[in-house]
Amino acid sequence: MPNIIRILVPIDSHDEEAFKTALGYARAICEQENISDVILLTHTKSQLTQTSLASFLGKQAIRSLAKGAIRLSNAISLNAETMRTMHRPARKSVVVVYYAEPDILDFVDGLNNIIGVVAVPEFPGEAEEWVRRWGAAVHGQERRQSAPLIDDPTVVRALSALTQIVNLSTGLGHPRDKEHADSVLRILRAKGHADPSNYIKSWAIQNGWRPKDGAALEALSRKIWGLVRKPSLSGFHNVEERYRRWHDGAD
């Protein structure tokens, strides 16, 4: 999902200032990118009526959102959606993710037609993985150059080679692709590389995997690095040549 503007608003989600700041960023992105649709995304509909959002929006706006869009300005409209109701937006949109946490942020990472994402976490730290994944800007903080998710170049080259082989439309759902992933991770573990599990899902999403498939790759990685002993490689084909290419960066 390249070229998407991503911003974290680390203000208490129950403070109206967080909501106003998030909408301000959303409007600014719309104006910058010449688009007109903002989507307020929550986990459930009840969060619009039974949480702090109810007082921020007001009864009239909530009633209007239940029927359709409301106007933020002459050119920009706001719709409310949940993880259950939201599908691919018909038009390019900015998403304000309220009460953001890893599951809903992964959900947004799997959507198309998104130009900007503004995240307001309910609790501090819940969006840290997402910020690191994308190098998102953080409100009130100086923009820093993002560090690589995985700093072992051999592991990165191995995962890149796997990404070229796997059908990303099905991920590890196909047995053959799961076998490829299993062999790559077992070779890396047997060769003594550090466990990349903490960042492998984010790396995968960043490199075109669907979020649920990135999660499946993470689960497989944790399983393999959780083995008591290093795995045997006797059943795999051409192990040393494959590993040499990953290690040396040779084609």
Q: What CATH number is given to the structural domain containing 56?
A: 3.40.50
Q: Does one domain contain both 173 and 93?
A: no
Look at residues 112, 4, 93 and name the one whose alpha carbon lies nearest to residue 40: 93
Residue 143 has pLDDT above 90, yes or no: no
Going by the DSSP 8-state scheme, the letter that residue 145 receives in this structure is: P
Please tell me the predicted confidence (pLDDT) of residue 199: 95
Residue 22 has pLDDT above 80, yes or no: yes
CB-based burial, 20-29: b 16+ in 10 Å, e otherwise: ebbbebbbeb
Q: d(Cα 226, Cα 201) in Å, to the nearest integer?
A: 17
Domain that holds residue 12: 5-138
Residue 27 has pLDDT above 70, yes or no: yes
User: Tokens at residue 94, please?
Assistant: 């900015």
Q: Does one domain contain both 224 and 167?
A: yes
Please tell me the predicted confidence (pLDDT) of residue 19: 96
Q: Does one domain contain both 157 and 243?
A: yes
In this structure, is residue 147 part of a structural domain? Answer: no
| Reported confidence tier of residue 73, pLDDT bands at 50, 70, 90 | confident
State which of 106, 138, 170 marks the end of a domain. 138
In this structure, is residue 193 part of a structural domain? Answer: yes
Residue 205 has pLDDT above 60, yes or no: yes
- Determine the residue type at 198: N
State percent of the chain over pLDDT 70.
98
In this structure, is residue 146 part of a structural domain? Answer: no
The neighbour count for residue 224, using CB atoms within 10 Å, is 21
More confident residue, 217 or 236: 217
Q: d(Cα 56, Cα 72) in Å, to the nearest integer?
A: 14
Q: Does one domain contain both 95 and 19?
A: yes
In this structure, is residue 174 part of a structural domain? Answer: yes
Q: Does one domain contain both 38 and 81?
A: yes
| Reported confidence tier of residue 2, pLDDT bands at 50, 70, 90 | low
- Determine the residue type at 156: V
Q: Does one domain contain both 119 and 14?
A: yes
| Reported confidence tier of residue 245, pLDDT bands at 50, 70, 90 | very high
Domain count for the chain, please give it: 2
In this structure, is residue 148 part of a structural domain? Answer: no
Q: What's the pLDDT tens digit per position in 185-196?
A: 999 999 999 999
Tell me what the mean pLDDT of segment 160-166 comes to.
95
State which of 138, 166, 182 marks the end of a domain. 138
Burial of 38 (0-12, 13-18, 19+ CB in 10 A): buried
In this structure, is residue 144 part of a structural domain? Answer: no
Residue 251 has pLDDT above 60, yes or no: no
In this structure, is residue 219 part of a structural domain? Answer: yes
What three-state secondary structure class fits 114?
strand
Q: Does one domain contain both 115 and 180?
A: no
Least confident of 5-19, 78-92, 198-212: 78-92
State which of 113, 138, 163 marks the end of a domain. 138
Q: What's the pLDDT tens digit per position in 82-135?
A: 999 988 777 899 999 999 999 999 999 999 899 999 999 999 999 999 999 999
Q: Does one domain contain both 87 and 192?
A: no
Q: Does one domain contain both 134 and 157?
A: no
Q: Does one domain contain both 133 and 11?
A: yes
State percent of the chain over pLDDT 90.
82
Please tell me the predicted confidence (pLDDT) of residue 1: 44
Tell me what the mean pLDDT of segment 145-156 comes to.
90
In this structure, is residue 157 part of a structural domain? Answer: yes
Q: Does one domain contain both 93 and 203?
A: no
Q: Does one domain contain both 105 and 163?
A: no
**The pairing of beta strand 5-8 with beta strand 137-138:** parallel
